[in-house]
Structure 1
Amino acid sequence: MMHRLALLRPHPVLMAILTGLVFGALLLLLSGQNPLRAYAEMVRGALAPRNWNNTLVWAVPMIGMTLVAALPLRGGMVNLGGDGQLVIGGFVAAMAAIYLPLPGPLLAAVAILSAMLAAGLYAALAALGQTVLGIPMLISSLLLSYPAIGLTSWAAGFPLRDTATGLAQTLPVPEAARLPMLFGPVSTGVVLMALVAAVVVWADRRSVPGYELRMRGLNARFARYGGVPTARQTVTVMFLSGALAGLTGAIIVLGTHYRFINGALVSPGYTWSGLMAALLAGGEPLMAIAAGFFFAALQTGGFAMQREIQVPRVLSMVLQAIIILFVSLRNGRGAARKEDRS
């Protein structure tokens, strides 16, 4: 009987989403808006056929940065340095594409690989700080973002600035190095991200390193006793997480902006929205991809809602925060109950 009741119990993530929608509706009512109309405009703005292009353009970096956070989270680690790794990847991709004397398709490939390598190595610094120097990765990964953002901002604003524009941005990326467009504003970056996401899901479920990472997330001490080299695993996972951020930055630069623009990779908040989506999914890659797409739809729907009925799109961020808050509250109560029973 209890087993049947457990099966009928709603999934906690679904309950958190429904709770967020209810609280959002209350906020809309208090501000004098019709919540049904607001949500209808949000859904139409995200999922209507004519708006799919915008949702996909937003979903590519959102899913990328969700996986950046989800990969370490799967093993009980937290990478807060996504912004720094993202700008390192975008900047290196732009520099490689602009200054390397290579033919077109090869130039784009080298630019992407260079971005992934640079961002991966930068992320690995935080892991080395923890494993070698004892600096908590939670702190070092976050602090390493500031010099990355500052240095790339200085380079784009002064020595490498495109003087013809007067803005803090580099020269445009050559046409040959730009990612081909599939339809509308959607580039082949969506294909690259889909392939990488598929590899991450497969590795998590079918590979030995994926199994070891899951075991570490469940019980780090048990994983160490079982022979998992956790120090090396920490560095490897952070390198891969940073490489994903570098890929995301390269896709934005080579497929959307066509140059490195100071602040353009950080201001949309991909890193923090991706972290929230990864928390919503509990670090599970397939669920993280779905959560990243869901949050991307919230963002594009929020723009449409603001445009059509003048409801500020910040409501979409409020919904995200409420959803994560309720998931966190449930997880915290569950952990407290386990400690009480032990």
Structure 2
Amino acid sequence: MTRAGTVAGPPPVSGGPRALVVARRVVLSPALLSVAGALALTTLVMAAAGVDPALAYPALVRGALLDGNLEYTLAAYVPTLGMAVAFAIPLRAGELNLGGDGQLSLGGIAAAALALHAGGSYVLPLLGAALAGALPAALSAPLRTRLGIPAIVSTLLLSAPAVSLASYLARFPLAEPGTGLAQTPVLPEAARLPALGGSSYVTLALPLVAVLTALWLLADARTVPGYEIRALGANREFARYGGVRVDRLATVTMAAGGAFAGLVGGLVVLGPPYRFVDGALTAPGYTFTAIAAVLLAAGRPPAVPAAVALLTILQAGGQGMEREAGVPSQLTQIVQGLIIVIVAVAAVVRARTAGGRG
């Protein structure tokens, strides 16, 4: 009871900027500890295999950032960041979108088809790519709300036929004449994304994805829909009780994630080599790396770009490490796996500790 005889509520949040910095450190510390633990285990594996870590790690950095390799790393960073946002948007609403490969492929083939047959600039192909990715993702929301099928299941099941459909279109209706390769013809020059900085691999996709990611971060933190999405992810029934239109918002978030994935597919296809090549969108593993990055960031939007950068550097630098230090490039995949395992174990430990205290 307070002096006025009223019931005291929860204490106000205080501390100003210093408290905010401490809170951010608390949020980021599990991810930092996971990365440090994975690197420590990797160092032990290198030492056991007779590889000098003092040679391997500098080779990894050079293979990703130096010796003219930065543009290749940026070219891989852009679609990975886009796919991370495509996974993170529904995740904030408590939905797991595992259909990234299918949405990515549909977006890519839609962009190629529009660029080849609709003419004009790259604007229409990119819009078509976003719509093609949004449709299968949005379908999974009513499957959950009406039929009780979890999004993690429906998106994954819809992904395989989506990839197959894109493959069929690239092999037959849209195939390049006179060749047996599963690819479309080279896209018209007007539909190609402009290159930046004299590099043929870094295109307009980089600032476009950066701006869209910044807008997502702003919307998540500063807008009413962002708050409603977070409330939906925290407690669906509480959000419904608070007036949130749960079914509609779930559909919107899933569609937004799918649209982002489809847009990424369009951006990749409208960049070098300026055509849709069957398997070229799924083979690099953008979806898996993106999911790993979001998990590493613990689903916190501000940490997603940094987590994507870390995993992209590990992947891009693996070849340099193999070339200079004799370390198999697959070791970088082991590092990614260790990071995710440590993150998962830490999350379980924290949950059980909090449950024990409660």
TM-score band w.r.t. shorter chain? over 0.9
Contact 1:74 1:282 in 2 (8 A): no
* Structure 2 runs not aligned, ≥5 long: 1-18
AA matched with 1:234:
A
Aligned length in residues: 334
Say if 2:264 is the partner of 1:255. no
1:215-234, Cα deviation, whole Å (9 max, x unpaired): 22233332222111111111
How far residue 210 of structure 1 moved from its aligned partner, in angstroms, is 0.6
SS at match of 2:145: helix
Q: Judging changes above 3 Å, is the alpha-carbon distance between structure 1 residues 309 and 163 closer, same or farther for their aligned structure 2 residues? A: farther
| Corresponding residue number in structure 2 for 1:181 | 195
- Aligned positions of 1:263-342 closer than 5 A: 263-342=279-358
**Structure 2 matches for 1:106-145, cutoff 5 A?**
108-145=122-159
Cα distance, 1:255 vs structure 2: 1.2
Give, in whole Å, the separation in 2 of the partners of 1:306 and 1:289: 26
Post-superposition Cα deviations, 1:108-166, rounded to whole Å, max 9, x if no partner, equal 10000010011111111111211122211110000101101111112212232113332
Question: In 2, distance between residues paired with 1:144 and 1:300?
Answer: 30
Structure 2 match to 1:68: 86
- Tell me the SS of whatever aligns to 1:112: helix
Pair 1:173–1:34, CA change in 2 (3 A) = same
**TM-score normalized by the length of structure 1:** 0.93
Output the aligned Cα RMSD.
1.8
SS in 1 for 2:184: coil
* Unaligned segments of structure 1, at least 5 residues: none
Is the 1:69–1:78 contact (alpha carbons within 8 Å) kept by the matching residues of 2?
yes
**1:21 paired residue among 39, 42, 49:** 39
One of 91, 104, 108 as aligned partner of 1:90: 108
**Which has the larger Rg?**
2
Cα separation, 2, equivalents of 1:159 and 1:180: 27
Is residue 237 of structure 1 aligned with residue 253 of structure 2? yes
Letter in 2 for 1:48: L
What is the alpha-carbon distance in structure 2 between the residues aligned to residue 203 and residue 333 of structure 1?
A: 32
- AA of the residue aligned to 1:74: R
Does the 8 Å CA contact 2:109/2:169 hold for their aligned counterparts?
no
Task: Check 1:199–1:31 CA distance in 2 against 1; reply closer, same or farther (3 A cut).
Answer: same
How far has the Cα of 1:194 moved from its partner?
A: 0.8
Structure 1 residue 306: Cα displacement: 1.8
- 1:191 equivalent in structure 2: 207
Aligned partner of 1:179: which letter? L
**Separation in structure 1 between the aligned mates of residue 338 and residue 247 of structure 2, nearest angstrom:** 35
Give the superposition deviation at 1:336: 1.8
Instruction: Report the Cα distance in structure 1 between the residues aligned to 2:59 and 2:238, rounded to whole angstroms.
Output: 49
Deviation at 1:326, TM superposition (A): 0.8
Moved more, 219-228 or 140-149: 219-228
**CA apart distance, 1:49:** 6.4
Q: Residue 48 of structure 2 is aligned with which of 30, 33, 44?
A: 30
Question: Any conservation in 2 of the 1:71–1:283 contact (CA below 8 Å)?
Answer: no
1:57 maps to 2:75: yes
Q: Which moved more, 1:23-32 or 1:231-240?
A: 23-32
Structure 2 counterpart SS, 1:311? coil
Q: TM-score if structure 2 supplies the norm length?
A: 0.89
**Amino-acid identity (%):** 44
**For residues 272-305 of structure 1, what are the alpha-carbon distances to aligned partners after superposition, in whole Å with 9 as ceiling and x for unaligned?**
1100101111222221111112111111111211
Counterpart contact for 1:70–1:279, Cα < 8 Å: no
Secondary structure of the 1:228 match is coil
Matches of 1:232 and 1:340 in 2, distance apart? 36
- C-alpha contact 2:56 2:324 (8 A) present in aligned 1: no
Please state how far the C-alpha of 1:310 moved relative to its aligned partner.
2.9
The whole-number CA distance in structure 1 between the counterparts of 2:43 and 2:298 is: 26
SS in structure 2 opposite 1:256?
coil
Inter-partner Cα distance in structure 2 for 1:257 and 1:234:
36
